[in-house]
Structure 1
Amino acid sequence: MIRLAILLAAGLLAAPAPASAHDGHEAKPAAQPKCAEVSLRCAKSATPAFGADGRMWIIWSAAGRVYVSASADKGASFAAPVAVSDPAEAMDDNGEARPKLLATRSGALVAIYAQRMDNRYNGKVFFTRSTDGGHSFAKPQPMLDGIGQRFETLVQAPSGRITAAWLDTRNRIAAKAAGQDYNDTGVALAWSDDDGASFTGKAIKADYACDCCRLAMALDRDGTPLLAWRHVFGRNLRDHVVAKVKDDAPLAPKRVSEDDWAIDACPRHGPSLGVGADGAWNIVWFTGGKRRQGLFFARSDDEGASFSEPQGFGAANRLASHPQVLARDGRVWRAWKEFDGTTTAIQTQSSADQGKTWDAPRQAAATNDASDHPLLVSDGTVTYLSWLTRDEGYRLVALP
């Protein structure tokens, strides 16, 4: 917990720790003055998506609403922002939780985000879409009637089906109302076969997820969605799993490693997942377990039946955190944050031999003020680091 408190106090996380069953275990960063602009200058996070036409879209929240903008020059300039959401008092946006955008194969834009509905970080997921090139968005629709949804994400298969996933506490909320002792968080799924106009299913497909760490989602080689999350084993062991989405069946999570991290607090460190043309599942994560501590990489060549021995990376003495992974064209890239007490830097590496060996870490960007978590994204030809910082603004950095 000391390491987590240092990360928060250092300003590496843009928002206060989430209220949950573990409340009171994390330090809170100093409050920042409210920013009333709708521009990226007031955003805590920024998430990119590339369309089929090569345009880059970006989604963020500011001044209580979610916005989208397009860039035709890889982030050097952006069009005027377009409002996606209705005004809200608080968006669930802190680096781990953040609005997401999907540019569909037909050219539509589907946005998904969560509002915080109370001071216990109970969220409510909404979705909406644009069918006119991002000039306007339909009125947002709630994914569910009740509250208790966070860390939403979505992906589109080659078939056109969109799968949405989120962490869901509806069973916990119902049990509490009935006076029952139940503290579980589920992984829920929904599907859209009409390009994001509506979603069906909306059911919990796995139990015992850590309630304060983001989900990771990717497409397997056959186009089937994969999900990775921090799972709660036994009473309180928080290690990672990957599961393949198979129609309407329950998720069958495969354990990535036995880190044995028993912690009665919010790690606020979700995994990242990437699948290359070879079909290997590549995953990176953070742990503070008994068996290992820090950032780690592993891969599975047999659809999760086994995973490689966890491979550590990042400088522990520089508080390495928030890793990302992306696989494309026979190469794997990874990126992460490091903090030396003054400067936050994003380090990157790549591997051309399926993660067996990596080139030397190189600093891709740095800042001396608050910053978002790093993201890796590709336009199908180039792999980029996407990063938002308070001082420098939004940066899209091409990686070698």
Structure 2
Amino acid sequence: MKTFAGHALARTLLLGLGLFATLGFAADGMPGMAKGARPELGSSAVFAPDGSLFVAAKQGEHVMIYRSADEGKSWSAPAAVNAQPEAISADGENRPKIAFAADGGLLVSWTHPFPKPNTGSVRLARSADGQRFSPPLTVHQDTAIITHRFESMLTLPDNRVILAWIDKRDLESAKAAKKPYTGAAIYAAISTDGGRSFQPEYKLADHSCECCRLTSAIDHDGAPLFMWRHVYAPNERDHAITRLKLDGTAENVQRATFDRWKVDGCPHHGPSLVVDEKGVRHAVWFNQKDGEARVFYGRPEISAKNEIDGQRTVGGPRAAHADMAAAGGKLAIAWKEFDGERTQLRAMISSDGGDSFTDVALASTDGASDQARVIRRKDQLFTFWRTEKEGFRLFPLP
């Protein structure tokens, strides 16, 4: 096994293979929301049942799987997920995803962008051994050259797999009929066989925001939960949350945050949602409130109170792209924050269900970096962070 992070020869090789190619991030033509070119560092990490760490990352026109048996100190030779090359999205909001199905199958999903800007299809491949993958399938039956992007993958204990994504078929239909339609829609597809096949997709909600990642979790009673940035009339970019019934359809769609951010554009900044061992929901999200754009934490409940419990800011005024997880009676939030010279990786840990937090400084970099990911291995929490200069890094959280 070779050491990946910080290994100059390995970085040179990966550069030659196109791992650090650049991409322009368009914001669907909305004013003031264009993204500049930057390295494609979007990656995902998960612990396997045996405790080893798996990472999914883009390399050229392939999604590659890296495996570490020693918490990221060394890495096995990568395995290609898609044998046939294809375009792959790998920015932080629309990165490849990785998860284990209940039957042990390793699942990797990604968005395959089309040449037309802001379009793509949601793809998934499965492996029984983490090395050899089945040919990838497109999880939706709609083949129109439109937006099917920003998917969230949720695996359930009964071997179901649900993918939900942002979809613009209803916007296109409204345009053709010369009818108004705000934002996009959330569609989902369900697999009952551990990701080997998917049933026809269906709509969860109209009027989602266009370019923010979705998040998902399993509720206290086992029901799937999905949360996303939504467009509320007249143009408030807050968040919605829905529970799914046993058949996968939406039980209801209710407002989850109440910051009332009025903006004619998508901030490319999606939420993160977890449910702890006591069944309490916790979320982090980015919004503008009282004229200040910040990352927030709170405990969203599906209710008519028009408020979110325990809302507080996370980090400083430049905090961005927070993620969270819960395990072993602890809740962890990680994010990155630019201090004017370097990008800092920071975390907050709570042992009392989010009533109070302890701040932790983890690392920094002076180059480009991916968003932070908080992952769990049984009762222990970790932050996974990929940077342009240092590579993959894993930080145990106290």
Query: Given the two structures, how large is their TM-score scaled by the length of structure 1?
Result: 0.87
SS in 2 for 1:171: helix
> Following TM superposition, by how much is the alpha carbon of 1:258 offset from its aligned partner in structure 2, in angstroms?
1.6
SS in 1 for 2:252: coil
**Partner amino acid, structure 1, of 2:393:** R
Alpha-carbon distance between aligned partners in 2 of 1:332 and 1:248, rounded to the nearest angstrom: 28
> Following TM superposition, by how much is the alpha carbon of 1:304 offset from its aligned partner in structure 2, in angstroms?
5.0
**Partner amino acid, structure 1, of 2:24:** P
Pick closer, same or farther for the CA change 1:377–1:112 going to 2, 3 Å.
same
Name 1:207's counterpart in structure 2. 206
> Following TM superposition, by how much is the alpha carbon of 1:313 offset from its aligned partner in structure 2, in angstroms?
2.2
> Following TM superposition, by how much is the alpha carbon of 1:27 offset from its aligned partner in structure 2, in angstroms?
5.0
| Mapped contact 2:92–2:371 kept (Cα < 8 A) | yes
Name 1:258's counterpart in structure 2. 258
Alpha-carbon distance between aligned partners in 1 of 2:368 and 2:151, rounded to the nearest angstrom: 24
| Mapped contact 2:242–2:250 kept (Cα < 8 A) | no
Listed as ranges, the matches of 1:1-400 within 5 Å are: 15-22=23-30, 24-26=31-33, 28-30=35-37, 44-88=41-85, 90-131=87-128, 133-144=129-140, 145-146=142-143, 147-177=146-176, 179-246=178-245, 247-290=247-290, 293-300=293-300, 303-304=302-303, 307-316=308-317, 319-359=318-358, 361-400=359-398
| Mapped contact 2:186–2:208 kept (Cα < 8 A) | yes
Pick closer, same or farther for the CA change 1:351–1:19 going to 2, 3 Å.
closer
| Mapped contact 2:23–2:37 kept (Cα < 8 A) | no
SS in 2 for 1:266: coil
| Mapped contact 1:67–1:83 kept (Cα < 8 A) | yes
SS in 1 for 2:208: coil
Query: Given the two structures, how large is their TM-score scaled by the length of structure 2?
Result: 0.88
Alpha-carbon distance between aligned partners in 2 of 1:136 and 1:167, rounded to the nearest angstrom: 29
> Following TM superposition, by how much is the alpha carbon of 1:176 offset from its aligned partner in structure 2, in angstroms?
3.4
| Mapped contact 2:45–2:98 kept (Cα < 8 A) | yes
| Consecutive unaligned residues in structure 2, runs of 5 or more | 1-21
The C-alpha deviation readout for 1:234-268, integer Å capped at 9, x for no partner, is: 03110012211113433522322321111112201
**Partner amino acid, structure 2, of 1:99:** P
> Following TM superposition, by how much is the alpha carbon of 1:107 offset from its aligned partner in structure 2, in angstroms?
1.7
Name 1:6's counterpart in structure 2. none
**Partner amino acid, structure 1, of 2:32:** H
> Following TM superposition, by how much is the alpha carbon of 1:136 offset from its aligned partner in structure 2, in angstroms?
1.0
Alpha-carbon distance between aligned partners in 2 of 1:310 and 1:398, rounded to the nearest angstrom: 26
| Mapped contact 1:258–1:291 kept (Cα < 8 A) | no
The C-alpha deviation readout for 1:104-125, integer Å capped at 9, x for no partner, is: 2222111111111134211111
> Following TM superposition, by how much is the alpha carbon of 1:201 offset from its aligned partner in structure 2, in angstroms?
3.8
The share of aligned pairs that are identical, in percent, is 34
Alpha-carbon distance between aligned partners in 1 of 2:289 and 2:264, rounded to the nearest angstrom: 12
| Consecutive unaligned residues in structure 1, runs of 5 or more | 1-13, 33-42
> Following TM superposition, by how much is the alpha carbon of 1:88 offset from its aligned partner in structure 2, in angstroms?
4.8
> Following TM superposition, by how much is the alpha carbon of 1:178 offset from its aligned partner in structure 2, in angstroms?
5.0
Aligned pairs, number: 371
> Following TM superposition, by how much is the alpha carbon of 1:69 offset from its aligned partner in structure 2, in angstroms?
2.1
Alpha-carbon distance between aligned partners in 1 of 2:132 and 2:257, rounded to the nearest angstrom: 44
> Following TM superposition, by how much is the alpha carbon of 1:364 offset from its aligned partner in structure 2, in angstroms?
0.7
The C-alpha deviation readout for 1:74-110, integer Å capped at 9, x for no partner, is: 1122222111125555322210001111112222111
| Mapped contact 1:345–1:365 kept (Cα < 8 A) | yes
Pick closer, same or farther for the CA change 1:178–1:190 going to 2, 3 Å.
same
Pick closer, same or farther for the CA change 1:305–1:274 going to 2, 3 Å.
farther
Alpha-carbon distance between aligned partners in 1 of 2:68 and 2:99, rounded to the nearest angstrom: 15
The C-alpha deviation readout for 1:265-311, integer Å capped at 9, x for no partner, is: 220100011110110010011112446531111114x5555530421
Alpha-carbon distance between aligned partners in 2 of 1:328 and 1:57, rounded to the nearest angstrom: 19
SS in 1 for 2:267: coil
Alpha-carbon distance between aligned partners in 1 of 2:183 and 2:38, rounded to the nearest angstrom: 31
Alpha-carbon distance between aligned partners in 2 of 1:381 and 1:257, rounded to the nearest angstrom: 29
CA RMSD of aligned residues (A): 2.0
| Mapped contact 1:97–1:214 kept (Cα < 8 A) | yes
> Following TM superposition, by how much is the alpha carbon of 1:329 offset from its aligned partner in structure 2, in angstroms?
2.2
